Chains A and B, each alone.
Chain A
């Protein structure tokens, strides 16, 4: 049986209707945590919730667009109402609108920054007082290797993901005395709906030392570690889970 090292902990995972977010929610559920599933697609919210409840843990679903300051506030308030506390916040919700800078529209820029970066601010700000009162919290922000190294065609995405790193480090410094750990995970090329169109070219695989793309479950395992007491002395860090793509 799975190690239940998150028993009685409450976790909110944004963007958990599919892909990496869903894998994270399932991993934390299997470790015994109560889960708040959230996203913007109602049908996927329902099916994701059912999958998570099937692990035997308590879970609820709350529809939320993290880019909206007030919706994020509501998400956290409803979660606290339901479970009494929030121990783990995983800021995973993210989108791409790829294009070269010479063609990138204002809308392409704004939407990616709003969901990926402002969304992290919105949810984190909303949860901070609760975690401070608890004198306990784990905030895990999903950045990306391209936030660290840039990537042609993703100026908006890499700016948002790099911004998450700067934000996380500031937060780590602000909240450390209240026993709240703030870290980032930087996935590399992971097989999900978001990356399905990109294909597995030889050139891409050649750039990954481990010679393969990653699985959502592998990101989820790293999140599980940062959510657990095993990582209590780790804060302000960016943990790459990328097969060695960016060192």
Chain B
């Protein structure tokens, strides 16, 4: 594996409790970063040395409060990973207003809330990396995912604009777009759905959460210093 050294860097990961979020946190810790995980509640099995903050990413005020606390405690933030995301699948003709609102609020507005609070600090310090976790289903659309794909596609538009706005302050803003990732949640899906997704991949396997995390660490590293406004798919070739 590429060796990253993020000593003295502060990484903030939203949705830090889930499969992908905890993998991201774990790898940042292995790279010697100070890691702040944000989720609705502290997890049952917290990672050693990881700092946990509670916030509702969909609430502008909750996030404002959270970032104040983080800055007060650590003095700065270097990496913002907008990973928090939910799904409420439904065909559009049955999709409730609540299904729509909740997914857009967590997945898209949540990212805006964090970027809005962290960007002034990035501007002042003249350094920052933002990585938004989108999805190939935002890029290609998918049956039953009208709300999710709208939110994940919206994240890409947001990524590109913020890349253009913060570039002159030495801030890189990118997105990763995973395909199907073998988290505990995903493994509970019906066998036939998993089998179908597998045949879509060219590499004939699902992503491990670490595959997504590694791409994110890469984007935060000096190896990617000239990459901004980019979307890196981590999908085993599901969508080419």
Contacts and interface: CB of A to CB of B under 8 A. Distances in A.
Interface of A: 69, 100-102, 104, 106, 109-110, 113, 117-118, 121, 124-125, 128-129, 132, 146-156, 158-175, 236
Contacts of B116: 101-102, 104, 109
Nearest to B158: A159
B157 interface: yes
A124 B95 CA distance: 11
Interface-centre pick from B91, B120, B139, B149 (highest chain A CB count, 10 A): B149
B142 interface: yes
Contacts of A158: 157-158, 160-161
A104 B141 CA distance: 29
Contact of A163 (B95, B119, B120, B151): B151
Contacts, number: 150
Interface in B64-120: 91-93, 95, 97, 100-101, 104, 108-109, 112, 115-116, 119-120
Given A102-B119, A163-B151, A129 B161 contact: no
A124 B92 contact: yes
Contact of A162 (B115, B147, B153, B164): B153
Chain B interface mostly: helix
Contacts of A159: 108, 112, 154-155, 157-158, 161
Contact of B149 (A102, A124, A170): A170
Nearest to B151: A163
A149 B100 CA distance: 25
B182 interface: no
A163 B150 contact: yes
B140 A150 contact: no
B165 interface: yes
Contacts of A162: 153-158, 160
A132 B92 CA distance: 12
A152 B171 CA distance: 14
B160 A150 contact: yes
B157 A170 contact: no
Nearest to A131: B93
B225 to A, nearest CB: 20
8 contacts: A110-B109, A113-B108, A154-B161, A159-B154, A163-B151, A164-B150, A166-B139, A168-B141
Nearest to A151: B161
B102 to A, nearest CB: 12
Given A166-B149, A167-B146, A171-B141, A106 B154 contact: no
A171 B152 CA distance: 15
Contact of A125 (B95, B151, B155): B95
B141 A169 contact: yes
